[in-house]
Chains A and B, each alone.
Chain A
Amino acid sequence: MERNQANKSRPRSMRLSNLHIPSHILMLVWMLVVLIPVYLLVANALKTKRGMYDNPFGLPNPLTFDNFQSVIQDGNFFSYFGNSLFVVGVSLFAILLLGSLAGYGLAHWRGKTSRGIYFGFVFGMMLPIKIATIRLMELMKGFGLFNNLWSLILVYIAMGLPIAVFILTEFIRGLPRDLYEAAHIDGARQHKIYGSIVLPLIKPALATVGIYNLVPIWNDLWFPLIFITQDDKKTVLLAVTRLQGQYATDWPRVFALLTLSALPVIALYLAMSKQFVTGLTAGAVKG
């Protein structure tokens, strides 16, 4: 297309090609592809059994919350939820604490050893921890940690550390050096500098690392499936596998169960989608 002065001075959005009609059509189609299953999930969780078979695609009529009620009551749903929260909370806290300490150390300590350790961590980003499963099973058996939430926490911490060390080391290296100099002149101790200067400054990086790990840990099925059999130690996701088998013939109840387990993360995502997107795609751009 020819670009003369007149064309250039016109606002770009006024041009027909800038309406992007095919692009919008494609986006809208994909939007439906994404949202219809999610809609069917939630809508059918709110229907009676009869209501679902009569009208699987329509809005719930009659609307009922019985499915949610029975899921919450007859599984120990709050206990599963508590277990998941505990595992995610402790794991994230430890990943951020150990990761930022190590990042602080590695950012300042320059030498062959430190570079070796750094690459040792970064290498772990490429490798799925599942490969270590067989040995981890023996290890946990040896420690007597089967049916103990700590078996999950220890594995998740180890799994989260590579990305944490990578992102936080890079981030701390990028902080202006003058900061430390000034603190030193004031006579601040090293660990005080970490606590009162570095930690507040690396908050955005901590958020990225936190979210990067939050979703896979909350959503993990593999390790609970292997380490946990006792009902009172089950995480939400593990409980879902058992309950969905139990409810097999009562589909609205299965939908309610799935909705309950998926909703917290979706809600959190919608509330802070920017951080989620940065978090979950972290480590990709500069790998």
Chain B
Amino acid sequence: MQKTARQPRLSASRINQGGGYWIWYVLPALIVYIMFMAYPMLDSVRLSLYDGTTGEFAGFANYVTLFTDPDTAARFWGAFGNTWVFFAYHMLVQNMLGMLFAVILTNRTMRGRGFYQTIIFIPVTIAVMVTGYLFKLLLNPSFARYALQDMGLGALARPWLGKEETALHVVSLVSVWQWVGIPTMMFVAGLQGISEDLMEAADIAGANSWQTFWYIKLPLVMPVVGMIAILTFVNNFNAFDIIYSMTGPKGQPNYSTDLIGSLFYRVGVVGDHPISNPNPGLGAAISTSVFLMLLAGVIPTLRATQSKE
């Protein structure tokens, strides 16, 4: 399709050399990519069909264990449910806030935009684990119990991370605190791409700011919404550092903050109760399930939100 347009301009030059030549430029990257990413990813799928201890072919036995064995399945479905809660916080709180911030930050008559933008983005550059340890201390009731009591805010000195009812929500909000800069800046980039003429036209037609947002801005940044949804989904289903640092690899208390990422770590990498050795087969079954779920979520989202090409 594009060939006809480009061919004549290039035909005179050596630039037109075929794949036999250009492959040499591509090959080094391709080898590393296949060897350390593409192949191990696909081969993990194969590993999920083998017994983790004997190394023999086991069919879908790992998946049967993962989904139905009383001990394992309880952990898996628990982590699965928690991950959806974690994801919901990011979609609803983080991404909505990001959208709101972006609308404010792209208002041309608003002062101090650059400054606010810089501040909002700071947490993104901090390691998740550092954020986790920091908030673990700040949220510990003994950090500032007396100071808070003096301020009449003694009720805030609670074991936020020690109670099953609050731990997952608090961990999710800390993660939102960390990442809200990413959707904000993506929306800013998307909104800046909207032509000034269009906004003028809406202005002249007498649209209020809510109408401009709902009927013009939002539809035009739908591709960005899609990308952010995908990014959030992929990252949340792999989140690990935040759990490891805030509530430990077991997602305490009582697995109430256990996510798929931390479960994967325990089962596939270090070994989990009741078996204290890592089980690569079962671990691979977890990662393959995540893999398939990501594909099932990502591809339709791309189709729905990205215009072709």
Question: Hey, which bits of chain A sit against chain B, CB under 8 A?
Answer: 3, 12-13, 18, 20, 23-24, 26-27, 30-31, 33-35, 37-38, 40-41, 53, 55-57, 94, 98-99, 101-102, 104-106, 108-111, 113-114, 117, 120-121, 124, 126-139, 154-155, 157-159, 161-162, 164-165, 177, 180-181, 184, 190, 194, 215, 218-219, 221-222, 225-226, 237, 240-241, 244, 251, 254-255, 258, 261-262, 265-266, 268-270, 273, 276-277, 280-281, 284-285, 287
Closest approach, in angstroms, between the C-beta of A45 and any C-beta of chain B?
11
C-alpha spacing A155/B108, complex, angstroms:
43
**What is the chain B residue whose CB lies nearest that of A238?**
B129
The contact of B19 among A20, A24, A113, A139, by CB within 8 Å, is: A113
A250-B180 Cα distance, complex, nearest whole Å: 31
Using known A-B contacts A13-B109, A128-B234, A284-B189, determine if residue A240 contacts B37 with beta carbons closer than 8 Å: no
Cβ-defined contact, A135 with B40, below 8 A: yes
Inter-chain contacts of A215 with B (CB < 8 A): 124-125
Check B133–A244 contact: CB distance below 8 A. yes
| Shortest Cβ distance from residue B217 to the other chain A in the assembled complex, whole angstroms | 15
Q: Is the CB of A37 within 8 A of B40?
A: no
> At the interface, yes or no: B273 with Cβ under 8 Å from chain A?
no
Q: Which residues of B contact A276 (CB under 8 A)?
A: 121, 125
Residues of A within 8 A of B121 (CB): 269, 273, 276-277, 280
User: Using Cβ atoms and an 8 Å threshold, which residues of chain A touch B110?
Assistant: 18, 20, 23-24
A-B contact count (CB 8 A): 285
B67 CB-CB contact with A under 8 Å: no
Known A27-B104, A124-B37, A222-B241; contact A101-B28, beta-carbon cutoff 8 A: yes
Residue numbers in B under 8 Å from A218 (CB-CB): 127
Q: How many interface residues does chain B have, given as a range?
A: 35 or more
Question: Which of B24, B36, B146, B287 sits near A105, CB closer than 8 Å?
Answer: B24
- 12 of the cross-chain contacts (CB-CB < 8 Å) are A33-B177, A35-B119, A38-B122, A114-B19, A128-B235, A131-B44, A132-B287, A133-B268, A194-B25, A261-B127, A284-B189, A285-B223
Nearest-CB residue, chain B, relative to A113: B19
Determine the distance from Cα of A285 to Cα of B224 in the docked complex, in whole angstroms: 6
> Once the chains bind, are A280 and B185 in contact (CB under 8 Å)?
yes
- In the complex the two chains form, is A133's CB within 8 Å of B185's CB? no
The answer, among B10, B120, B127, B298, for a CB contact under 8 Å with A126, is B298
CB contacts (< 8 Å) of A134 on chain B: these are 44, 47, 268, 280, 283-284, 287
A162 to B, closest residue via Cβ: B33
Give Cα distance in the complex from A55 to B147, angstroms.
7
Q: Which of A3, A57, A139, A221 contacts B129 (CB 8 A)?
A: A221
B189 close to A285 (CB less than 8 A): yes
> A-facing mask of B14-34, CB < 8 A → 1, else 0?
110111011111101110110
Q: Which of chain B's residues has its CB closest to A273's CB?
A: B118
Nearest opposing residue in chain A for B48, CB measure: A134
For residue A18, which residue of chain B has the nearest CB? B109
Q: Are B238 and A128 in contact (CB under 8 A)?
A: yes
Report A-chain residues with C-beta under 8 Å of the C-beta of B228.
284
The answer to whether the Cβ of B143 comes within 8 Å of any Cβ in the partner chain is: yes
Chain B residues in contact with chain A, CB under 8 A?
Answer: 2-3, 6, 9-10, 12-15, 17-19, 21-26, 28-30, 32-33, 35-41, 43-44, 47, 97, 100-101, 104, 107-112, 116-130, 133-135, 137-138, 143-144, 146-147, 177, 182, 185-186, 189-190, 193, 203-204, 223-224, 227-228, 230-231, 234-235, 238, 240-241, 244-245, 261, 264, 268-269, 280, 283-284, 287-288, 290-291, 294, 298, 306
Which residues on B sit within 8 Å (CB–CB) of A225?
Answer: 244
Pairs A-B, 3 closest by C-beta atoms: A105-B25, A109-B22, A158-B36
- A130 contacts which of B26, B101, B238 (Cβ < 8 Å)? B238
> Considering the chains assembled together, what is the distance between the CA atoms of A38 and B223 in angstroms?
33
| Complex Cα–Cα for A31 and B113 (A) | 12
Residues of A within 8 A of B238 (CB): 128, 130-131
- Provided the pairs A135-B44, A190-B14 are in contact, do residues A287 and B227 lie with their beta carbons within 8 angstroms? yes
A205 to B: closest C-beta gap in Å? 15
A94 to B25, CA, bound (A): 14
CB-CB under 8 A from A161, the residues of chain B are 29, 32-33, 37
How far is the CB of B152 from the nearest CB of chain A, in Å?
A: 14
From A106, A131, A280, give the contact of B124 (CB < 8 A). Answer: A280
In the bound complex, how far is the Cα of B33 from the Cα of A55, in angstroms?
52
Contact A284 B224 (CB under 8 A): yes
A180 with B125, Cβ < 8 A, contacts A55-B147, A105-B26, A135-B43 known: no
